[in-house]
Amino acid sequence: KMGRGSVSYGFNSMGDPYQGGGGGGYRGGRGSGRPRPYDGGRNFNHRPGKTPGSQWESTTGFSVHMRGLPYTATDDDVRRFFEGLQPVFIKIHTENNKGNGEADVDFANVQDCDQAMERNKAKMQWRYIELFKNVKY
């Protein structure tokens, strides 16, 4: 029996151990882990031409999905983040006319896409940015 303030230990559906509190949380009181798709990128329903976590259809076939952007991020902020590379197209996703912290960026070729991925977990302002590569072969 779990009461308020108690701690449980267990394994998530990926077999990874987790520690959670007794109340609330995303698993009906059985832990405080984040809901999918926030499982380290291991369980996305990846489809060629679609970027994990979005409905984006790449214009070039070489795109990177960005997650964790400041809600005030602009195209210029994304261009500065990928300084030295030449993004072909930038789409910042919005909800209710406000940024939702995600964007998709198209690159001209797979080499630029690979170089962009080297910036995974780099910071934009005060936030670290997660990157997910999507290349259509």
- pLDDT of residue 51 exceeding 90, the answer is no
- The pLDDT tens digits of the residues spanning 79-115 come to 999 999 999 999 999 999 899 999 999 999 999 999 9
- Mean pLDDT (the chain) is 75
Q: What is the pLDDT of residue 137?
A: 64
- The pLDDT tens digits of the residues spanning 53-89 come to 556 788 899 999 999 999 999 999 999 999 999 999 9
Q: What is the pLDDT of residue 37?
A: 46
Higher pLDDT, 115 or 17: 115
Residues in contact with 32: Cβ distance below 8 Å, sequence separation at least 6, in sequence order: 20, 21, 24, 25, 26
**Residue 105's Cα: distance from chain center in Å?**
13
Model confidence band, residue 39 (pLDDT cutoffs 50, 70, 90): very low
Q: What is the pLDDT of residue 58?
A: 87
Q: What is the pLDDT of residue 25?
A: 44
Residue 91 contacts residue 74 (beta carbons within 8 Å): no
Q: What is the pLDDT of residue 17?
A: 54
Query: Model pTM?
Result: 0.61
Gyration radius of the chain's alpha carbons: 18
Q: What is the pLDDT of residue 29?
A: 47
CA–CA dist 99, 106 (Å, integer):
18
